[in-house]
Structure 1
Amino acid sequence: MKLRLKPIREQVIVIAGASSGIGAATAEMALNPPRGSVVAAAMVIGGAAC
């Protein structure tokens, strides 16, 4: 069976770590120019629990 992906304009993109680094760059690329997809960006404020 061949994998068929939906066009980017029909997808929901979830980006964790969108406040800096590669997460921020990925969020920016997903939003500019608008591609018609829904983008949910998440970040953690404060330290991570270990």
Structure 2
Amino acid sequence: MQANSLSGRHALVTGAARGIGAEIARTLAAEGAVLTLLGRDREALQRVADALPAAASHRVV
């Protein structure tokens, strides 16, 4: 993918607290997508969100 190729797009990532979902969230954030992160463990979701690039726009649900 090209840098920021998803700028202006929104992605809903389920299972974002760990594993594949967390890696998808990191990849989408790096590409410029706005994220909504969903999962069962709010603390783990917040850790993933805190580790996203500073410019990443996201919401933990």
TM-score, normalization by structure 2: 0.50
> What does residue range 1-50 of structure 1 map to in structure 2 within 5 Å?
8-32=6-30, 35-45=31-41
**Over the residues paired in the alignment, what is the CA RMSD in angstroms?**
1.6
Q: Which has the higher helix share?
A: 2
Q: Give the structure with higher Rg (CA).
A: 1
Q: CA deviation at 1:36?
A: 3.2
Number of residue equivalences: 37
CA distance in 2, matches of 1:36, 1:17: 20
Percent identical: 24
